[in-house]
Amino acid sequence: TGRGTTANLEEIVIGRCNDYIGLKNPAAGKKNCTLLWQTLKSVFASKDPCKITQDDYKPFLTMAEHDIPSGKSIFWSQTGELTRQYADIVKNVMPLESTLTGYMLNGLNWCGQRSSSELNYEVCPAWNECEENAAKSFWRSASVVYAKKASGEVKVVLNGSSQTRAFRTESIFGSIELGNLDTNRISSIQLWIMDNLSGSDKESCGVGSIAQLEIALKHKGFKFSCIDNYRPVQLIQCIWMPEHKSCNICPKN
């Protein structure tokens, strides 16, 4: 079992929604944050938390929809924290977590229970405990909507030091987002392969699972390029390890 519903979920979700439409992205347009919360809650309240489908979230996702400017879509796998930090700093990319639905729910837990209309603040299913759990179905469904909207030059941030593989066909990026990208809307795809500064360089552009992804992109008809350790993102990693040799602006030879 996993952690229960985040305490004060309602206040956090409604608060984040108002912060988003009022301050963070007024271009999202007018939204009724209380109605959005009620619509979201009705998806999982009073229900078995292992029987919530992707479709169940559609009314909520449709109500919260807004434009994503061309060239701002950025996908990630095993690099969530770093990608959000980069997005918060440069402000010229908009990952799912910088759209209204992702912003409202990132980092939170939620689930209901069959026996009561109260949310379950004690336990919720763990991520891999059941396929159709309240949180996993949400992120899958939101990822479909997000990927379909991508246009212009798209970015993908992968982890070159992954203990498994940088590109995993079973991840949400590999199994859902990739398949929903539209060749007619997307002009090119840029892969950024970021190694952990102190971790090993397991995979790089053209190597291992990245090579597989590159072949898949080519087959689908996408123009793409790949950059190892894209410097602006690496400089964010450097904040925590300024003395690391990769962070040295003037390397001593």
* List of residues contacting ligand NAD (CB under 6 A): 75-78, 80, 96-97, 102, 106, 127-128, 139, 143, 146, 171-173, 177
The nearest distance, CB 248 to ligand NAD, in angstroms, is: 29
Specify the residue, 20 or 173, whose C-beta has the smaller distance to ligand NAD.
173
Give the nearest distance from C-beta 56 to ligand NAD in angstroms. 17
CB nearer ligand NAD, residue 55 or residue 251: 55
Q: What is the amino acid identity at position 233? A: V
Closest Cα to residue 163, out of 190, 139, 195? 195
Cα dihedral 97, 102, 108, 109 sign = negative
> Among residues 35 and 89, whose Cβ is nearest to ligand NAD?
89
Contacts with 184 (C-beta within 8 Å, 6 or more apart), sequence order = none
Nearest to 60 by CA among 33, 39, 29: 39
* Choice between 106 and 188, CB closer to ligand NAD: 106
To ligand NAD, the closest distance from the beta carbon of 242 in angstroms equals 26
Phi and psi at residue 54, in whole multiples of 5°?
-60, -40
Kindly tell me which of 132 and 247 has the beta carbon lying closer to ligand NAD.
132
Q: For Cα atoms 95, 101, 103, give the angle at the middle one, nearest 5 degrees.
A: 60
CB atoms within 10 A of CB 214: 20
CB 219, min distance to ligand NAD, A: 20
Residue 60 CB, shortest distance to ligand NAD, in Å, is: 16
